[in-house]
């Protein structure tokens, strides 16, 4: 006889608990003795359950019976005899020591922060570019219809002004290098004020208020180029996907486009309320600056309109900077890029 301990035995057929003596025999067998019963099992056929914190460990026997015991030393020696102590005992050690538990919590928080800050955005970018154009078009068209019902109203700009700005837009869209059918739409902004939005389908919406705020067409071209930058880099879709981890996983792992198109109902509100990250804004600004420099348009036009928009945003908490964060850093960066 090698070692014995106390345990609670369950026969696997009833819920009755028996106080039993558990003995580890020298011949590699486990003997269980209680009032009115005696059983014996080969240790090799006994499954040792994980020992989590202070919860009693369970031994599972081949006939469906089990024992619960709190003797860590006894369980450890059984595990060693089975040759599988390392992982289970290390896990139990980590779980039963406060210092290790706190370290694990810090590590978990760090990993989670890394996933949210870097992993999810990277996966969202991959998923956004993996989506077929049909999904982008469906989302964008549905979003525009919803915005027309809830926020925008028909433009009252005269046709000559619309046609002039449309020609500017048509002239720069081929540079986007994308197969989407780019389209410029004019709307009266209402609560959105002086604003411009890029929908995933390739639709750019420019409000009458923004057109009237601009002092020349070159300022409007700068804004249009900036919105095209958002489209080329698929910022709206990436933002939506970043806020929907399930959609990212389904799209990137199994290619389930239907799970993404279910976002169409929420997309209008997201597009109106979202603030692009600084990284997204820099990408879109850089795209616009490259176009302005390539066509000889002074970049100061872009900075001037942003400053004017920021001044308007200071009077009312709405307009362009409700979807494009106000920051002097952007204006200074554009100004110094000359």
In a domain, 309, yes or no: yes
Neighbours of 185 (CB within 10 A): 18
88 and 135 both lie in a single domain: no
292 and 188 both lie in a single domain: yes
90 and 233 both lie in a single domain: no
* pLDDT exceeds cutoff 50 at 129: yes
* Number of domains forming the structure of the chain: 2
| Side-chain half-sphere CA neighbours of 106 within 13 A | 6
In a domain, 285, yes or no: yes
18 and 157 both lie in a single domain: no
Mean pLDDT of 203-217: 95
Partners of residue 204 on adjacent β-strands? 184, 198
In a domain, 113, yes or no: no
| Side-chain half-sphere CA neighbours of 323 within 13 A | 26
Mean pLDDT of 280-309: 91
Sign of CA pseudo-dihedral 236, 240, 243, 245: negative
- Which of 92-96, 128-132, 249-253 is least confident? 249-253
Question: What is the per-residue pLDDT for 253?
Answer: 46
In a domain, 246, yes or no: yes
Burial letters for 150-172: b for 16+ Cβ neighbours within 10 Å, e otherwise?
ebbeebebeeeebeebeebbeeb
- Confidence band (pLDDT; 50, 70, 90) for 50? confident
Mean pLDDT of 85-105: 59
In a domain, 322, yes or no: yes
Q: Which domain holds residue 236?
A: 124-335
200 and 249 both lie in a single domain: yes
Closest CA to 301 of 194, 214, 210, 228: 214
pLDDT digits (tens, 9 = 90+) for 218-244: 999 999 999 999 998 888 788 777 766
In a domain, 112, yes or no: no
70 and 146 both lie in a single domain: no
Neighbours of 74 (CB within 10 A): 19
Instruction: Provide DSSP, 216-272.
Output: SHHHHHHHHHHHHHHHHTTHHHHHHHHT-HHHHHIIIII--HHHHHGGGGTHHHHHH
In a domain, 224, yes or no: yes
Partners of residue 47 on adjacent β-strands? 60
88 and 155 both lie in a single domain: no
Mean pLDDT of 317-322: 52
In a domain, 109, yes or no: no
- Which of 100-104, 157-161, 196-200, 258-262 is least confident? 258-262
Mean pLDDT of 16-41: 90
* φ, ψ dihedrals at 248, nearest 5°: -60, -50
Domain at 327, CATH number: 3.30.2010.10
Burial letters for 297-309: b for 16+ Cβ neighbours within 10 Å, e otherwise?
bebbbbbbbbebb
pLDDT digits (tens, 9 = 90+) for 237-273: 887 777 666 455 445 544 555 544 555 555 555 554 4
Residue 148 in contact with residue 274, Cβ under 8 Å?
no
Alpha helices of the chain — where are they, by DSSP H? Answer: 72-82, 85-96, 98-114, 120-130, 133-150, 159-172, 208-213, 217-232, 235-242, 245-249, 257-261, 267-273, 278-294, 300-315, 320-323, 328-335
34 and 136 both lie in a single domain: no
89 and 200 both lie in a single domain: no
129 and 89 both lie in a single domain: no
- Which of 44-48, 210-214, 269-273 is least confident? 269-273
Where a domain ends, among 53, 77, 96? 96
Question: What is the per-residue pLDDT for 49?
Answer: 82
21 and 85 both lie in a single domain: yes
Q: Two tokens at 174?
A: 């081929």
Domain at 27, CATH number: 2.30.29.30
Question: What is the per-residue pLDDT for 154?
Answer: 95
159 and 73 both lie in a single domain: no
C-alpha span between 334 and 328 (Å, rounded): 10
* pLDDT exceeds cutoff 60 at 180: yes
């Amino acid at each position: 006889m090698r070692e014995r301990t106390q345990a609670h035995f369950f026969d696997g057929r009833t819920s009755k608990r028996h106080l039993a003596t558990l003995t580890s025999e020298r011949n590699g067998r486990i003997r269980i003795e209680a009032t009115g019963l005696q059983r014996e099992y080969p240790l090799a056929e006994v499954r040792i359950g994980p020992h989590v914190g202070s919860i009693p460990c369970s031994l599972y026997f081949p006939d469906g019976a089990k024992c619960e015991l709190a003797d860590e030393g006894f369980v450890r020696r059984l595990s060693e005899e089975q040759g599988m102590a390392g992982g289970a005992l290390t896990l139990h050690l980590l779980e039963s020591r406060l210092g290790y538990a706190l370290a694990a919590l810090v590590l978990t928080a760090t990993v989670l922060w890394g996933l949210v800050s870097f992993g999810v955005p990277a996966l969202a970018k991959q998923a956004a570019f993996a989506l077929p154009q049909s999904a982008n078009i469906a989302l964008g068209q549905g979003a525009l219809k919803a915005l027309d019902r809830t926020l925008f109203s028909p433009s009252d700009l005269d046709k000559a002004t619309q046609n002039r700005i449309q020609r500017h837009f048509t002239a720069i869209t081929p540079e986007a290098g994308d197969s989407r059918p780019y389209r410029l739409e004019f709307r009266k902004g209402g609560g959105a004020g002086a604003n411009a939005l890029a929908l995933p389908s390739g639709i750019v919406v420019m409000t009458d208020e923004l057109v009237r705020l601009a002092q020349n067409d070159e300022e409007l071209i700068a804004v249009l180029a900036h919105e095209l930058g958002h489209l080329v880099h698929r910022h709206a879709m990436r933002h939506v996907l970043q806020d929907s981890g399930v959609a990212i996983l389904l799209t990137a792992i199994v290619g389930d486009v239907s799970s993404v198109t279910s976002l169409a109902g929420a997309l209008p509100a997201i597009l109106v309320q979202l603030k692009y990250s600084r990284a997204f804004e820099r990408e879109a600004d850089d795209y616009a600056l490259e176009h302005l420099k390539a066509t000889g348009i002074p970049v100061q036009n872009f900075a001037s309109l942003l400053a004017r928009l920021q001044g308007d945003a200071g009077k009312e908490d709405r307009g362009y900077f409700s979807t494009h964060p106000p920051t002097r850093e952007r204006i200074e960066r554009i100004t110094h890029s000359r």
